[in-house]
Structures are given as structure tokens and as C-alpha cells.
Structure 1
Amino acid sequence: MKKRAVKSIIYFMVAIFLLAIPTNVGAAVTNLETHFDDTNYKNTFIKFKTGSDNYSDVIEIEFKAKGDMTGSIPTQTNVIRPQHLKLYDENSGKDIKIKGVESSFDSGSNPPARILLQIDAGEINQNTTYAIKNESALVNLGLSVVMTSIENEELSVTFNKRASEGGGSGNAGGAEDRDKEDDATVDESVNTDLEVIKFTGLNSEKVTAQIDQVKRVITFVTEDKDTPGVSMSIPDSIFRNINNVDELVVSVPVGEIHIPINAIEEKERNIRIEIQKAPSTVIEEVQKTNNNLQVVSEPVKIKVKGLKSDSYLTYKIPVQGQETKYSTGVLYEDTGNIRHIPTRFVKDNGRTYALLKRKGNSTYFIVNDEKEFNDTANHWAEEEIKLLASKRIINGMTEATFAPQEQVTRAQFATMLVNALALEWGGTKTNFVDVEESAWYANAVATAVEAGLVRGYEDNTFRPNAPIVRQEMAVMITNALMVADKSISLKDDEFSHKIKHFNDQEQISNWARKSVAIAVDEGIISGMPNGEFAPSAKADRAQSVVMIRRSLQALNFID
């Protein structure tokens, strides 16, 4: 048996609805032109001209696809609604109300695909050209998923009178009332631009697809409590005609994945998504070595394939309880350790959710582990140190001490940035002659170099134990903003203006001037009390913590 590749979204609409109308339908209707556009669904249309026949009551325009199915498609009934299509007079532009739509798709039936439009005959004039246009990417989305393949496509069309039921023009055999019942799943009071369609075909899971045309988001939702997770593939055909969407969301009871459309590989937009509840043994293993750790969410396993490697995704996980000030998302490593993930918290319908930002796949959950040091009491940065330590972004010099007034080294600050951004660990090997693979910072420095956070000196050294100076911090911080896809608002001619108020601005090195201007503009670094920037001044550990927190706030990675 022959098999044809899965059709594109728009091709399926063509096969069922938009191919040339045969000439054997008599004088009632004559095909004039058909056109489909595989880049913009709204440019797809069919034009036809009515004949001299007179009709009363209700007219049916019925399209039937006939052919041999080379695969199976899930049965779908009435997934198309009147608002998904537009019928209008080609000359006057007057819209013709579609009273009802019937549609069915079933590989086991004959025909396997059928669409029927119901219209008041009084709306249709003789010898007039009309056009039907597709108004919804959602229609294409649903049809592309339910259709697998069809061979030897044929299309038959009828244009016939249908007697109204219940007197007058009626309601097209109850189609209008049925459509209102289907629309009950749409909360019009929340957003009239939200379209909802139910379909199957994604790993045999029942899924609801929603397109919010205001927020420009397409959401795949399953609310089956017995199947709290989902594993699914989304083929290229789904993306081909949703140019009005910026974000794709997969939502299940255990959490959500938010994927920017521009994060999807452009050549082959076939992505695989898995979001499932992870085994509880994960939590048990972690708590063996973290006695005071409070876990406040279910562990969630998330895997996404088919994306650009440098893209941050957002994971939304429900949290138990309301107090989240010292809570954070963490990822579970194969070694049994856990690492900080950039996390914010939001409330939605009375429930608290964590929004995690991450590049990469892992198992995630939310923890609360309030941390304090003996030597930070009454220190001006006490709260910032406690906050970032509790969120596992920074570590103390010992379990009990932080040493806030000690100078921070280049290796320490690089490690703080790698932890803050939750970058994937690289190896331990670098080209620096003074970074031994056995050094405690070797992994962090190698990761920072690979990500583009840091560079060494011209003599091929990194000088890991040298105190970091303020202009070096500004460069590393600005690099971190770029790695995290931060949009920089400063224009090229504005950099000098941002630093000209510093008394010592001429002492800022040329290689650091742009970075200093960005860090100042973002509110991450400010000047000294005497009006200087002090580019060569050494920073202490407390100052570095404050700058890390401000950087995360600028990225919207922390509350």
C-alpha cells in the first residue's frame, strides 16, 4: 500500500475544502478560482459563482473528499465552527452569515472527510461571485493533526436547498444550536479572541488546542487527572501556518512548558516534548544528604528535543503553600546533587506557581531551605546574602561563615554567575595555563568560558585567585545578560552619555566602557559616594552578591 507523507496544514484544507470545484454540479454553482498559501492561512480562498436557480429556506454547500486512506485518522466530528470561515460577496464585500457547519473526518467512513456549510437562501443572489476564506490557524492546526494521508483525492460539491425545521428559515437542522453547545468550552468573558478546538492524535492523548490571538500563544492542554503528564510530538505542519503566534505552551496537571516560537529549529520544526511526574525516590535521595531541605512541589521530569541549544525555556510548576521568599526551583543531577534554577513565583486563581528558567532537560522541583551565616548579622547586605544563599546561588566560605568583607576573586565571581544562570556544566579543561583541572573552580571557569561570560588575559592566564575589579565585574555581568537573551535598550550613541557623569570616567578602560554603561543603565552597578566609578577598585563578597541579585532581577530571573 502506498503511503504519502503527512500533509502540511494548508494542504489538508486544500484536499477537503479548497480544491477546484468540479463542473458536474450543474447551473447552481460554477468554480472560478482556488488558491492556497502555505505561509499564511488567511491568503487561502475559493471563489464560486451562483447560477440562475432560485432557492428558498436553507442552502447547503457540501464538500466531500473521496479516496483511499493509506493510514488511520482519529474520528473527529464538528471541529470546524462558523467563526473559523468567512463567506462574502466578492463584488460588494458583504459578509454572508454561515448558520451552521457540519464536519467529519474518519478514515473508516465514506467519504473520509466532509464539510457542509448551511446558509439562509435569502443571503445568496443569482449570478453572483462569492468567496470563502479560512479565518483560523486553529482549523488548520486541528485538521493537520487528525489527517494522516489520503491517496487519489477527489472532491465532489453539492449546492442544494435544505428545508428548514420548525418553520421559517429555522436553524439549519439544529446546527446552530449544536454549535452554541460546542462553544460552551470557550470563556468569552475572559477573552473573545480565544479559540478552542479538541482533537486527538498526539500520542493518543486527548488534548485541547487553544490559540489566544491577543497574547499570541498556542496552548496544548490535557486536564485528564488520571494521566497527569504527556509525551508528544508536534510536527512541522503545525507550525507552518501559525505566524500570528509567538509562544507554544504544553500544559498538564503537574506543570507547563513555555517555548518561544523563535527557539524552535527553523529547518525541521519537529519537536518532541515530555512532561511527567518523576518518581518520588528522587526526593528521598536528595533528602538523605540535605536534612533541613523542605520540598514544596512534586518532582517533574521535563525533556524537549528539537530546539536551539541556546534558548531559555520557562517551566511552570504548582507549589504547595504560599510562602516562597526563600524558595527556589532546583534541578536533580545524575550525581544525586541539586542545583539552583532561576525562579520567580506568581499567584494564579489563588494558587502559587513557580516559573523556572532553564536551558536544558532535567527533573525539577521546588525547595525551601532558609540559610543564615554567623558573620552577616546586622551587615548592610545581610538580607541579600541570606536570600541568595537560601536559593543556592552562593555558598559560604564555611557552613557557618560567609566572610562578606573579603575581596571576591575572579574564580569566585565566575562561579557565582554560572550558578545564577544555571548553565549546563562543561568539562574542567581550559586553555589557561594557571587553571588546573583539579582546582575547585575549574568546572565553573570552563563553563563560563564556553558560555562567553569570561575571557582570559593576553598571556593565556585567567588569574583565578586575583581579586576582581569593578570594571571586570561590569564586563562579566553584561556578558551574562547577553547569554540570558536580555534586550539591551541603549543605542550606540548613548553609551558615552551614561558614564560621562562619573568624575573618573576617563579612567574606565576602552574594553569596559560599553559594559559599564549597560550595567549602570540596568541599575546593577552605581557610582561611589564621591562621584567616581572607581573602575580599578576591588569588590568584596557582599558587593558581589548585591550585583548578582540585581542582575537576576534585570533578567526577570528572580523576584
Structure 2
Amino acid sequence: MKKTLLAGALSIACFTGGFGLQANAQENVELDRFIHPKQVVAATDQVKLMTYQDVYKSFLLAKLAYDDKDMSLVTTKDSITVKITLKGLMQFSEVSAQEQKEFKELFGDAMQMKFMPSGNSFKTEVFSEGKWRSFSKKDMNSFIVGLSEEAVDLKPGGYFTDTIGHWAESYIQFLYQADIINGTSATTFNPNGQVTRGQLVSMIFRASGLDVNEDYEGPATYKDLANYKGAKEVAILEEYGFIDIFDGVNFEPNKPITREEMAYVTARYLEGMNFDVSKVSKNNPFTDKNQMRPETVEAIGLLKQLGVIDGANGQFNPKGNLTRAQFSKILTLTILSLHDDKSN
């Protein structure tokens, strides 16, 4: 199957920020000196148009580009606090020894910023020389956004009030911006809700870049899809062999998926996207392998070796169900693994 991932899912990569900071009465230090010009989009007009929710969504996407030790993000309904280490910034920028020295004099080993809603926009503070300092309008106008050398156009919506501060909020936002996942309403996501078979198929279908108008060749073999709105998606994935783990007469789209079913479908998706699975060990280290369906053992091992899934206390719990937040993380990491594979 020669299909490519959604461009949005592949292009969202990294976020680095710069701004002018009034360090003292005599000297104005501009952080954009620490950001390589090729990675920067001058954003005076863009920042004027950005809302607090835009900043929130941008930093959620940014978090995926950094190791946890290099960037931390604390979100509440009232503020976003970001901490980025100098080492983290240097992953995406060329920083001279003198610039490193100046950075450390201002911020120490890490820069901390705080964003708070203010009317239809936002206000910003930075922690420097032992205290939080407010931005002036001049400082804000020199705010610079860099997103993998080009700006990412954020979709409207996606500000889910029930995922603010949730451990999976970056993964959820990534899939939302890539048109792979939707909320349960305009403002909620229900991260702890269970993933159904129908939802799994819809998300894998969208991540595959398939099209019901181009790829549909006939109805699925399942007998219970006559009135199901996602019937064509099910039929297409069945045709490609993604979902043959569901081997009953009926598909049961509203039935919660099990963890082993999810792993099998996700592994088949990887293969269908031309990921070279032969170069990855399929060793399955979980101690509850005897509880797994035989056809899922290697799939679970593959995803474990890729770092996409994990278990608890050495067990995978194959018959357990999966939350929407958990699968958001798994699918995001799977897509990023595909991106890394295609980049190498």
C-alpha cells in the first residue's frame, strides 16, 4: 500500500521561542540571538493575532520535540509555565560560547516563561536574575516563534478543558491538529473514556491518509454495519488486512477494544505504511504472554521494542481495555516512529 501520512502529522516538529528582555535599565538583551536565523519566523504580526489558547496549543506541540529533562510544561486553567534548558535550545540552534555565557547570566541553565490570559490575548512573564519580570508591548512585539523553520497553522478548537494539565495533553493536541482525533464536544475530550473498535478504526484510517472516495471497493464482510456511519472505513481497513484480529461475524463498532487488539491493529498499520519492521526486534518481554492471542504476541513485542507501549510490573494486561488518552500517546509515538524511519 503506497500511502503517505498526513502532512500535518509529519511537519509538526519543534518549537523554540525568543523575545527581547529588559534585563536592566541600561541593557536590552534579545534572546533571539540564541536562535539560528533559519529556524526563526519573525512573528510581530503573528503574535498580535495569537490568543492564549494558540500559545497553549503551540507549546503542547513543542513539548513533543524535547526530552522531558530539557523542557517541562505545567498547564492550568489560569497559566502556562514553560521551562527550557540551554541544552534543549542548542538541539535546534547554533549557540556560541559567548551567547551561552550571556544566557546563563540571565537565566541560569534554563529559561522559564509564564503565559496568562488577558482579555482576548495573553500576557507574559520571564524569570530572570531571581524574579519574574513582565513584558512590555515592545518586548511582546519582538516575540519570535520558530516551528521547524516554518509556522504551523493551528486549527481552530482543540482547547479541551478536561485535558488541561493531563499527562497526555500534548499527544491529544498532536492528533487533533493532524485531523486524526476529535473531541467529544467543542470543549471536552473525555481522556479517560474507553476506545471502541469504531473509534480505533477511524483514527487508524485518518492516520493512514486513506480516502473513502478513492479507496472504497465494496462493503465489509461484517454483518452489523448497515447503519454504521464508519462502515466504509471498516471495509477499507479490512481490505488492507489491518483489522483481521476482529474475526467474528459482526464488527461490533461500539465494543471497547482490548489492549492486544489495539497492538495488533497498530502494528499492521506500521507495516501498511511501509515501515521496515524487519530491522526491529519483536521480542516480547511481558510475563503474561500466555494470556495473549498467539497472533498478537509479535505485534506487542514490536511496539514494546519501539518504545510505543509499556506495561506495569512486567505485564501487558492484553485483555484490558484502553483509554482515549492512552491510545493518543500510543498513536502519536507510532506516527513519530514512522517519521523517524522515513527521515533516516
Q: CA deviation at 1:503?
A: 2.4
**Alignment partner of 2:221: what SS?**
coil
Q: Cα deviation per residue 1:460-484 (whole Å; 9 max; x = unaligned)?
A: 2212111111111110111011011
TM score, norm. by length of structure 1 = 0.34
Q: CA deviation at 1:441?
A: 2.0
Residues 352/544 of structure 1: CA separation in 2 closer, same or farther (3 Å cut): closer
Give 1:411's match in structure 2, choosing from 198, 204, 214.
198
Residues 544/457 of structure 1: CA separation in 2 closer, same or farther (3 Å cut): closer
CA distance in 2: counterparts of 1:366 and 1:484, whole angstroms: 24
User: Which residue of the partner structure matches residue 235 of structure 2?
Assistant: 446
User: Which residue of the partner structure matches residue 153 of structure 2?
Assistant: 367
Give 1:434's match in structure 2, choosing from 202, 216, 224.
224
Residues 322/396 of structure 1: CA separation in 2 closer, same or farther (3 Å cut): farther
**Alignment partner of 2:268: what SS?**
helix
Q: CA deviation at 1:533?
A: 0.9
CA distance in 2: counterparts of 1:419 and 1:470, whole angstroms: 20
Give 1:551's match in structure 2, choosing from 328, 334, 337.
334
- In the TM superposition, what are the counterparts of 1:78-477 in structure 2 within 5 Å? 310=2, 312=4, 321=41, 367-369=153-155, 371-425=158-212, 426-427=215-216, 429-436=219-226, 438-455=227-244, 457-477=246-266
Q: CA deviation at 1:485?
A: 0.6
Letter matched to residue 274 of structure 2: D
**Alignment partner of 2:332: what SS?**
helix
**Alignment partner of 1:398: what SS?**
coil
The structure in which a higher percent of residues are helix is 2
Q: CA deviation at 1:351?
A: 9.8
**Alignment partner of 2:153: what SS?**
strand
CA distance in 1: counterparts of 2:246 and 2:208, whole angstroms: 24
User: Which residue of the partner structure matches residue 499 of structure 1?
Assistant: 284
CA distance in 2: counterparts of 1:401 and 1:490, whole angstroms: 40
CA distance in 2: counterparts of 1:400 and 1:313, whole angstroms: 27
- Count of aligned residue pairs for this structure pair: 217
CA contact (8 A) 2:284 2:298 kept: no
Q: CA deviation at 1:430?
A: 1.6
**Alignment partner of 1:519: what SS?**
helix
Cα RMSD of the aligned pairs, angstroms, is 3.8
CA contact (8 A) 2:245 2:265 kept: no
Q: CA deviation at 1:366?
A: 6.5
CA distance in 2: counterparts of 1:464 and 1:552, whole angstroms: 24
User: Which residue of the partner structure matches residue 536 of structure 1?
Assistant: 319
**Alignment partner of 2:201: what SS?**
helix
Max Rg structure: 1
User: Which residue of the partner structure matches residue 202 of structure 1?
Assistant: none
Q: CA deviation at 1:451?
A: 2.8
Q: CA deviation at 1:489?
A: 3.8
CA distance in 2: counterparts of 1:465 and 1:313, whole angstroms: 26
Query: Greater relative contact order (Cα 8 A, min sep 6): structure 1 or 2?
Result: 2
CA contact (8 A) 2:6 2:209 kept: no
Give 2:267's match in structure 1, choosing from 461, 466, 478.
478
CA contact (8 A) 1:421 1:484 kept: yes
Q: CA deviation at 1:417?
A: 1.0
CA contact (8 A) 1:417 1:480 kept: yes
Residues 381/352 of structure 1: CA separation in 2 closer, same or farther (3 Å cut): closer
Q: CA deviation at 1:319?
A: 11
CA distance in 2: counterparts of 1:503 and 1:490, whole angstroms: 24
Letter matched to residue 382 of structure 1: E
CA distance in 2: counterparts of 1:392 and 1:314, whole angstroms: 8
Unaligned runs of 5+ in 1: 1-308, 328-346, 355-364
CA distance in 2: counterparts of 1:458 and 1:432, whole angstroms: 9
**Alignment partner of 1:543: what SS?**
helix
Letter matched to residue 499 of structure 1: N
**Alignment partner of 2:300: what SS?**
helix
User: Which residue of the partner structure matches residue 311 of structure 2?
Assistant: 527
**Alignment partner of 2:267: what SS?**
helix
Letter matched to residue 545 of structure 1: S
Q: CA deviation at 1:546?
A: 0.5
CA distance in 1: counterparts of 2:5 and 2:42, whole angstroms: 24
CA distance in 1: counterparts of 2:222 and 2:306, whole angstroms: 31
CA contact (8 A) 1:326 1:391 kept: no
Q: Cα deviation per residue 1:431-484 (whole Å; 9 max; x = unaligned)?
A: 210112x42322321232233221264432212111111111110111011011
Letter matched to residue 473 of structure 1: M
CA distance in 2: counterparts of 1:351 and 1:383, whole angstroms: 15
Q: Cα deviation per residue 1:186-220 (whole Å; 9 max; x = unaligned)?
A: xxxxxxxxxxxxxxxxxxxxxxxxxxxxxxxxxxx
Q: Cα deviation per residue 1:506-546 (whole Å; 9 max; x = unaligned)?
A: 21211111111111111111112x22111101001110100
Residues 521/466 of structure 1: CA separation in 2 closer, same or farther (3 Å cut): same
Q: CA deviation at 1:397?
A: 1.1
User: Which residue of the partner structure matches residue 112 of structure 2?
Assistant: none
CA distance in 1: counterparts of 2:147 and 2:287, whole angstroms: 50
Unaligned runs of 5+ in 2: 12-37, 44-57, 62-91, 94-145
CA contact (8 A) 1:412 1:441 kept: no
TM score, norm. by length of structure 2 = 0.54
CA distance in 2: counterparts of 1:372 and 1:322, whole angstroms: 25
CA distance in 2: counterparts of 1:450 and 1:484, whole angstroms: 15
CA distance in 2: counterparts of 1:406 and 1:326, whole angstroms: 21
CA contact (8 A) 2:6 2:208 kept: no
Q: Cα deviation per residue 1:365-398 (whole Å; 9 max; x = unaligned)?
A: 9632262212112222122212221232210111
Residues 459/390 of structure 1: CA separation in 2 closer, same or farther (3 Å cut): closer
Give 2:277's match in structure 1, choosing from 479, 488, 491.
488
